[in-house]
Amino acid sequence: MGQNISHQLTEPHLESLTRAFRKLDGARVLITGGTGFVGKWLIEAAKIAGSVSSSTVEILVPTRNLDSVHARQTNAIGFHNLRLVHGDLLTDRLQFGSIDMIIHAATPASAQLNESNPAEMTRINIEAMRSALQISANKAPFLFTSSGAVYGSQPQSVSNIPEDQRKPYSALNNAYAASKQVAESMCLDAAVTGKCSPIIARLFTFSGEYLPLDTHFAIGNFVRNALRREPIRINSDGKSRRSYLHGSDMATWLWVALAKRSIANPIHVGSERSVSILELAHAVAEVSARVLDYKPEIIVALPDSSAKNFHQYVPATRKTRALLEVDEWTSLEAGIEQMLIAAKDWR
């Protein structure tokens, strides 16, 4: 993809983006992490918004390597008002000129790093926030893509984490979650001194192009299995529950949130549709049968019909959707289909 995603955007997508970009017209927006999953979808959405409205927004993205695969993919989106700036946000004094707004989406979403080197995970998240805040000034709108991980372990009795949940459910023994919580506090502290107007968006799990197919994301791994015409292997009992918001929905919600310039409380960006990992595997298999003419076998490594406890990570979003006047426009099945079609040549 990256050339034309208009077929994925419904009229509600376009209406929401048009309203948002009308308010953002003329802004220079810095996106940290702009070559990652979140950043690429933000740039895709900006390209579409520019094609359906007269609003103009300039996007600046720092990147350590202008020749990397991710940087090339980001350029290939074809957003004419995009400028990649060579340099490391953590170590270099980058020159961007005047910045009107910041979307801070730079984070190492790496389960391996989190487990093997939690101190480095913590350092990167905190130093990235410090660097981004140094660029902000004069109460500039500052959208921070935090994580639902700041809630700790979601209790069995809670089907969807409420948007007014103020404290973690459990101790944050996870470096990624704990450092996201610290970064949120840094953002709020900076607001007190007038450096920024914070918008904290707690992100959950997603589907769509640009999601890695070979890391810890279950939906990416299952799509990879289908593309390779391999069985879908679940390395657990398959009872853990997640939800998957499509990248186009996610990006639209975030642009609408930024256009509000300041939001008092954290918002949730994710899907309310809870599915077990086993149900997700069946959904991928069914869509694969239709799109690839191949239905993978599903192999569960640790089947346990008696297990009553399972991990879950699913948000409530009713208040966020009402505040932003947005919705879940893309179904899980449509998201899986788009991933399969976009990645047919993936190896």
Give the pLDDT confidence of 286-339 residue by residue, as tens digits.
Answer: 999 999 999 999 999 988 777 678 999 999 999 999 999 999 999 999 999 999
Asked if the 6-207+245-271+316-330 domain carries CATH number 3.40.50.880, the reply is no
User: Structure tokens of 115?
Assistant: 């487990």
Angle at 313 between CA 308 and CA 314, to 5 degrees: 105
Coil, strand, or helix at residue 98? coil
* Residue 151 DSSP code: G
Which residues 6+ apart lie within 8 Å of 270 measured at CB? 148, 203, 204, 205, 206, 243, 245, 314, 315, 317
Spatial CA neighbour of 29 closest among 67, 83, 77, 80 = 83
HSE-up (13 A, CA, CB side) for residue 58: 12
For residue 191, count CB atoms less than 10 angstroms from its CB and return exposed for 0-12, middle for 13-18, buried for 19 or more: middle
Q: What pLDDT score was predicted for residue 324?
A: 98
Which residues 6+ apart lie within 8 Å of 286 measured at CB? 295, 333
* Residue 312 DSSP code: B
Q: What pLDDT score was predicted for residue 1?
A: 43
Q: Which residues of the chain have pLDDT under 50?
A: 1-7, 347
Phi, psi of 270 (to 5 degrees): 180, 180
Could you tell me if 60 and 85 are in contact, meaning their C-beta atoms sit under 8 angstroms apart? Answer: yes
Could you tell me if 223 and 213 are in contact, meaning their C-beta atoms sit under 8 angstroms apart? Answer: yes
Report the predicted TM-score, pTM, of the whole model to 2 decimal places.
0.95
Instruction: Map tokens 């490391």 to a residue.
Output: 88
What whole-number distance in Å separates Cα of residue 207 and Cα of residue 326?
Answer: 18
Q: What pLDDT score was predicted for residue 136?
A: 96
Q: What pLDDT score was predicted for residue 8?
A: 64
Could you tell me if 37 and 68 are in contact, meaning their C-beta atoms sit under 8 angstroms apart? Answer: no
Give the H/E segment covering residue 205: none
Give the total residue count for the chain. Answer: 347
Q: What pLDDT score was predicted for residue 9?
A: 84
User: Structure tokens of 48?
Assistant: 């579409």
Angle, helices 69-76 vs 37-52, to 10°: value is 10
Pairing of strands 232-234, 140-147: unpaired
For residue 178, count CB atoms less than 10 angstroms from its CB and return exposed for 0-12, middle for 13-18, buried for 19 or more: buried
Instruction: Map tokens 């921070």 to a residue.
Output: 144
What whole-number distance in Å separates Cα of residue 152 and Cα of residue 168?
Answer: 5
Q: What pLDDT score was predicted for residue 115?
A: 73
Could you tell me if 199 and 262 are in contact, meaning their C-beta atoms sit under 8 angstroms apart? Answer: yes
